[in-house]
């Protein structure tokens, strides 16, 4: 070719090329990283990096650490930084963005940024479909996440459609990953339960149990979770004997597979106690609540922070169960500021805490205080959920009860 | 393992051989286009290659050089049997070629395995989907397809070896290796690219300008090399020649590139070669970096360019007189995602660069679909470190927390 001095090249905007390689992202994002140096003279614009791996890995690992301490907003910022770096490196359509997008979406979900979370999940889903094809088994992972979000938002029809597609994809890909199939069956069961289809929910939970890999160490926490869901499905279908049986089995399993003094054991005890309470069998519920109280008391330490929250909530539940409402109220008063600090004052988690606090105030005869707390809770939930959402409806009903 | 290059105390030395394979840069060479005519129905061409990564092929492209009322041709992908096409197409597509252009053809999806040898076979499509021959092929109805003269035995995108690359011709019932470089492109699902898009061998003139005192008209040529690890280069190799009788030395410059504003900053300049050290025909020449602290490259784009005060522009090839000429390879256009097939892939990584105004820091031009024959010599990149990031756990469902009324009576 003859060189033409006047030839003007077309300068393309910055951004880096896409070089997608399929990876098993749910098994962990495997990122190949060289030992890289980053050069950017002080005060000068950043030079084009092959990939700023130090910032990238610090961001991703930092996000994991932040989540452990409940610093979700910080974790989200870190993941968004990592996403930007990966996007610059691999281009906006690379499959390598998907695990980061999933993490971003989950953090947005946690922070009740539901619309952003849905967008992030849909972006990830589109990337998987584009890169691997809409029939690839990996698509089911993205669908599971999206269905989980819809379930949380009570968008059950959408959740059902999405999760049925996930199930079809998992079934088409054979028994390659029964654990994933079990989780999809469980999620679909929860959706059907929400839709009031108790028998279909039972079927899905049953299928999920069958798919727990027989030859491998069972996921004990997931087994408990499934038993609890099965109990709910049986109770929904008015089969209370089966429901009771599932909850009893859950308690036995929790004490066997976990330590007797463990969060799982307390949770299982409290679920069974709740069941007896709801059935009016207070004599059976009482010893369970007492036992749960004793055990959960041992699990709560002296520091009331994010890590202590689940223990404090179980303890408050147990105090309520044994009828010690002042103590339960005191615990919810400790829980509330921690949840506010972790999620922000306008988060549904805080609304739920306020509901629990209002419940205790009502039981203590403080109806005015309880009504204020419920109104505050409603003010948080109404911008986030539609008026016919069960959470909102439940709050309205409680407020109406209080005003009687 | 990359071979270690011993440097002499002198900062400058010559090695008129191809640089070692594993060093970083474009070593792909082409001097001229060679058209391979298919003017008889019993003639075929095969572009043989080794698949560099597992891929599900979706399309393939070939370059037609000449076409005179051409018949339809069939492009098929075939497995290799003892160096020859198996004769059984994995996928095929029919087309009527257009001269001096690439044609991209859809292929039924077929899985190609990394390390396995395949052939893209071109032949007249005699039947065109029917059961009897249609169309005419002969001296007045034919087309030719491109290969280039130097058989590099490389995957041009990353410089990895491909000892199986070759062009094969079928004539008189026999396949024969032609020892030419195949020019073709194969697309795979998931943004995978394989092939040689360099249909345009080139020469890049380096000269000082009509007025020796006006450095703003100088023409500089080079390559933006995007290193993939911290790279303490000890030397570089260029494929260079002189045109006429340059009087000034050939210098090299290292420029830092700030991609967000497309601006360069000079880092180092030194003499590369005296006029007498530059051959009159293209030859690989290795030059040691004078100050190793300046050639310790971070993993990003660095402009490595050549400059001289000698010479002036010319209307005739290679575009200058009494100057230096750097060889390059490029794509002439018309091939989708051509930059992805070139050395180091897409348009934001390594590519050829030039300046027509004395190396002004803001007006460097990129040639995204071209690469200069320029290789940096240094150690291997360290093996990649595997890092695993577990996915974030999803939040506990909000509605599980509402325990009251959980178990309906």
Question: How far away is chain B from the Cα of A106, in angstroms, using its nearest Cα?
Answer: 6
B345 and chain A in contact, CB less than 8 A: yes
pLDDT (tens digit per residue) in A191-213: 999 999 999 999 999 999 888 76
A74 phi, psi to nearest 5 deg: -65, -40
Q: How far apart are CA B268 and CA B255, in angstroms?
A: 7
Q: What is the pLDDT of residue B39?
A: 96
Query: Is the pLDDT confidence value at B14 over 70?
Result: no
Q: Which ranges of B193-247 does DSSP label H, i.e. alpha helix?
A: none
pLDDT for residue B383: 66
Statement: residue B4 has pLDDT above 70: no
Q: Do A9 and B402 touch (CB under 8 A)?
A: no
Give B299's pLDDT tier (boundaries 50, 70, 90): confident
Which of these ranges, A163-167, B12-16, B269-273, has the smallest mean pLDDT?
Answer: B12-16
More confident of the two residues B161 and B398: B161
Q: In whole angstroms, give the CA distance from residue B85 to residue B77.
A: 9
Q: Average model confidence (pLDDT) for chain B? A: 89
Measure CB to CB from residue B384 to each of A32, A38, A231 and give the nearest one: A32
Structural contact between residues A275 and A289, judged by C-beta atoms closer than 8 angstroms: no
Range A129-151 average pLDDT: 91
Contact B191 A19 (CB under 8 A): yes
pLDDT band at B18 (very low <50, low <70, confident <90, very high): very low
3-class DSSP state for residue A222?
helix
- Give the C-alpha separation, A271 to A247, whole Å: 7
At B374, list the tokens. Answer: 């320029």
Those residues whose C-beta lies under 8 Å from the C-beta of residue A182, and which sit 6 or more positions away, are A207, A208, A209, A211, A212, A222, A226
- Other Cβ atoms closer than 10 A to B66: 15
Domain ranges of chain B: 31-197, 202-377
Q: Residues A233-252: pLDDT tens digits?
A: 999 899 999 999 999 999 99
Structure token pair of residue B297: 């490259």
Question: Which chain B residue has the Cα nearest residue A25?
Answer: B391
> Residue range B355-375: average pLDDT?
95
Residue B241: per-residue pLDDT: 97
Give the closest of B204, B345, B408 to A3, CB-based. B204
For the ranges A40-49, A226-235, B190-199, the lowest mean pLDDT is seen at A40-49
pLDDT category at B30 given cuts 50, 70, 90 is very high
Pairwise CA distance, residues A252 & A275, whole Å: 16
* Integer Cα distance of B162 and B166 in angstroms: 9
CA atoms within a 13 Å half-sphere pointing along the CA-CB vector of A8: 4
DSSP assignment string, B342-398: STTSSTTSSEEEEESSTT-TT-PEEETTEEESEEEE-PPPPPPEEEEEPPPPPPPPG
The total of other beta-carbon atoms located within 10 Å of residue A68's CB is 11
CATH number for B31-197 (one of 3.90.226, 1.10.3470, 1.10.20, 2.60.120): it is 2.60.120
Region A285-291: what's the mean pLDDT?
93
Report the pLDDT value the prediction gives residue A53, as an integer from 0 to 100.
62
Per-residue pLDDT, B347: 84
Which residues in B lie closer than 8 A to residue A8 (C-beta atoms)?
A: 365
CA B138 vs CA B39, B42, B69, B124, B171: distances in Å: 5, 11, 10, 11, 14
Task: Determine the Cα–Cα distance for residues B41 and B36; give it in Å rounded to an integer.
Answer: 14
pLDDT at residue A16 is higher than 60: no
CB atoms within 10 A of CB B192: 21
Query: What is the distance in angstroms between the CA of the first residue and the CA of the last residue of chain B?
Result: 73
> pLDDT at residue B173 above 70?
yes
Domains, chain A, ranges and CATH? 329-404 (1.25.40)
Q: Please give the pLDDT value at position B384.
A: 59
Among all residues of chain A, which has the CA nearest to that of B390?
A: A28
pLDDT tens sequence across B114-167: 999 999 999 999 999 888 989 999 999 999 999 999 999 999 999 999 999 999
If you search the block for the tokens 């911008």, which residue do you land on?
Answer: A383
pLDDT band (50, 70, 90) for residue B385: low
Q: SS3 of B227, please?
A: coil
Residues B236 and B387: beta-carbon distance below 8 Å:
no
Higher pLDDT, B235 or B391: B235
pLDDT confidence of residue A233: 92
Selecting from A26, A33, A278 the residue whose C-beta is nearest the C-beta of B384 gives A33
Query: In which order are the strands placed within the sheet that holds B351-355?
Result: B263-273, B250-258, B301-308, B220-226, B351-355, B365-367
Q: What is the pLDDT of residue B387?
A: 63
Put simply, the answer to whether B204 touches A280 (Cβ < 8 Å) is no
Average pLDDT over residues A51-63: 77
- Among B225, B348, B407, pick the best mutation site for testing chain A contact (most A Cβ within 10 A): B407
Nearest to B299 among A37, A95, A131 (CB): A37
Tell me the average pLDDT across A322-327: 94
């Amino acid at each position: 070719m003859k060189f033409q001095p006047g030839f003007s090249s077309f300068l393309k905007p910055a951004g880096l090329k896409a070089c997608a390689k399929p990876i098993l992202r749910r098994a962990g994002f495997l990122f190949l990283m060289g030992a890289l140096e980053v050069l950017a003279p002080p005060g000068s614009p950043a030079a084009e990096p092959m990939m700023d791996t130090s910032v990238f890995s610090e961001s991703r690992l930092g996000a994991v650490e932040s989540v452990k301490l409940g610093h979700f907003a910080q974790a989200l910022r870190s993941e968004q930084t990592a996403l930007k770096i990966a996007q610059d490196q691999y281009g906006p359509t690379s499959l390598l963005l998907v695990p980061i997008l999933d993490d971003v979406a989950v953090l947005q979900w946690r922070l009740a940024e539901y619309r952003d979370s849905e967008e992030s999940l849909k972006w990830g889903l589109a990337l998987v479909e584009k890169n691997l094809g809409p029939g690839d088994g990996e698509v089911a992972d993205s669908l599971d996440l999206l269905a989980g979000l819809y379930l949380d938002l009570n968008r059950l029809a959408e959740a059902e459609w999405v999760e049925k597609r996930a199930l079809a994809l998992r079934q088409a890909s054979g028994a390659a990953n029964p654990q994933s199939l079990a989780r999809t069956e469980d999620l679909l069961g929860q959706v059907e339960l929400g839709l009031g289809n108790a028998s279909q929910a039972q079927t899905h939970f049953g299928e999920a149990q069958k798919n727990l890999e027989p030859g491998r160490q069972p996921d004990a926490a997931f087994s408990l979770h499934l038993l609890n869901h099965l109990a709910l499905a049986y109770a929904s279908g008015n089969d209370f004997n089966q429901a009771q049986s599932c909850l009893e089995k859950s308690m036995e399993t929790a004490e066997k597979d976990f330590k007797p003094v463990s969060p799982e054991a307390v949770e299982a005890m409290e679920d069974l106690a709740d069941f007896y309470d709801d059935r009016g069998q207070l004599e059976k519920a009482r010893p369970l609540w007492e036992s749960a109280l004793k055990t959960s008391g041992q699990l709560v330490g002296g520091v009331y922070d994010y890590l202590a929250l689940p223990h404090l909530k179980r303890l408050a539940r147990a105090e309520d169960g044994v009828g010690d409402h002042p103590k339960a109220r005191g615990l919810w008063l400790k829980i509330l500021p921690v949840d506010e600090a972790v999620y922000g004052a306008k988060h549904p988690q805080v609304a739920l805490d306020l509901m629990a606090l209002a419940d205790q105030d009502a039981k203590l005869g403080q109806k005015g205080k309880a009504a204020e707390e419920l109104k505050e809770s409603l003010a948080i939930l109404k911008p986030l959920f539609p008026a016919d959402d069960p959470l909102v409806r439940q709050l309205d009903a409680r407020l109406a009860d209080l005003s009687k | 393992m990359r071979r270690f290059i011993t440097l002499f105390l002198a900062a400058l030395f010559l090695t008129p051989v191809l640089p070692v394979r594993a060093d970083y840069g474009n070593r792909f060479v082409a001097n001229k286009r060679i058209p391979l005519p298919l003017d008889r129905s019993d003639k075929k061409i095969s572009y043989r290659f080794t698949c560099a990564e597992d891929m599900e092929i979706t399309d393939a492209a070939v370059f037609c050089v000449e076409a005179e009322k051409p018949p339809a041709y069939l492009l098929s992908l075939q497995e290799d049997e003892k160096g020859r096409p198996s004769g059984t197409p994995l996928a095929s597509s029919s087309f009527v070629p257009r001269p001096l252009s690439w044609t991209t053809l859809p292929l039924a999806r077929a899985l190609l395995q990394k390390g396995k040898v395949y052939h893209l076979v071109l032949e007249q499509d005699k039947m065109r989907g029917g059961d009897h021959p249609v169309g005419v092929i002969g001296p007045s109805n034919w087309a030719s397809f491109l290969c280039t003269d130097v058989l590099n035995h490389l995957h041009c995108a990353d410089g990895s070896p491909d000892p199986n690359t070759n062009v094969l011709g079928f004539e008189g019932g026999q396949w024969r290796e032609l020892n030419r470089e195949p020019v073709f492109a194969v697309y795979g699902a998931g943004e995978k690219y394989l092939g040689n898009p360099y249909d345009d061998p080139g020469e890049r003139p380096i000269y000082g300008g009509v007025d020796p005192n006006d450095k703003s008209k100088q023409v500089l040529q080079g390559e933006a090399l995007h290193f993939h690890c911290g790279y303490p280069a000890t030397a570089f190799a260029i494929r260079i020649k002189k045109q006429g009788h340059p009087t000034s030395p050939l210098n090299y410059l290292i420029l830092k590139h700030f991609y967000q504003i497309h601006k360069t900053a000079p880092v180092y300049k030194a003499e590369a070669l005296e006029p007498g050290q530059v051959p009159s025909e293209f030859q690989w020449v290795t030059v040691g970096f004078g100050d190793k602290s300046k050639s310790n490259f971070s993993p990003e784009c660095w402009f490595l360019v050549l400059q001289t005060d000698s010479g002036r522009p010319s209307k005739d090839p290679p575009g200058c007189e009494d100057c230096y000429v750097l060889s390059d390879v490029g794509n002439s256009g018309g091939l989708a995602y051509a930059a992805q097939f070139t050395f180091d892939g897409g348009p934001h990584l390594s590519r050829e660069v030039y300046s027509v105004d004395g190396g002004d820091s803001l007006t460097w031009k990129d040639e995204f679909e071209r690469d200069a024959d320029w290789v940096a010599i240094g150690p291997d990149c360290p093996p990649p470190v595997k890092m695993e990031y577990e996915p974030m756990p999803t939040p506990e469902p909000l509605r599980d927390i509402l325990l009251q009324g959980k178990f309906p009576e």
